[in-house]
Amino acid sequence: MSETAESDEAVATTSIRVAAPPAVAFRVFTEQIGGWWRRGTHYWNDAARGLRLEFEPGVGGRLLEVYDDGAYEIGRVTAWEPAELLGFTWREASWEPEAFTTVDVRFDADGDDATLVTVRHGGWDTAGHRDSLGGYSSGWVELLGWFGESAAQDGESAARAGDAGA
């Protein structure tokens, strides 16, 4: 992951190549985030109570951290273009109510049945939390590793299903 300046704004950016076509990679990222985003890690607002993360599909949908007794809204979907682009806002429970950052996830075809997935997480200066950028930079590397494992498994399943149907 690298920190870059764009219009004097700090941005965390990282990419991973996954062995799955863009439609599968997008589906795994959005529909299966509750499986690959590992429970009990420091990537949760409340790791002790967190059961899963989930996206409500479509622009305006919520990204939720789900508990037995409710959920915390991490952010809202700002772009929903299956197999191409996912955008959403992001905030931590400890931040000021109006503070949030922005995340864009691109899904670009990369050869036969592979996808380059790139996460770009910005808005740190606007949110007033530039000091968190370093932790998020390394965090996205680990998170995309977990996502990549799940996407590869789904990509293999999709390929086998395609072979069986041929």
Q: What is the CATH number of the domain that holds 132?
A: 3.30.530.20
List CB contacts of 64: < 8 A, sequence separation 6 or more.
53, 54, 55, 56, 71, 72, 73, 74
**What is the per-residue pLDDT across 42-67, written as a single tens digit (0 to 9) for each?**
899 999 999 999 999 999 999 999 99
Q: Which amino acid appears at position 137 of this protein?
A: S
The boundaries of the domain holding residue 23 are: 2-165
- Alpha carbon distances (Å) from 63 to 56, 59, 123, 157: 6, 11, 17, 27
Domains identified in the chain, total number:
1
Report pLDDT for 153.
86
- Alpha carbon distances (Å) from 150 to 8, 68, 71, 121: 35, 25, 24, 21
Q: What is the pTM of this model?
A: 0.87
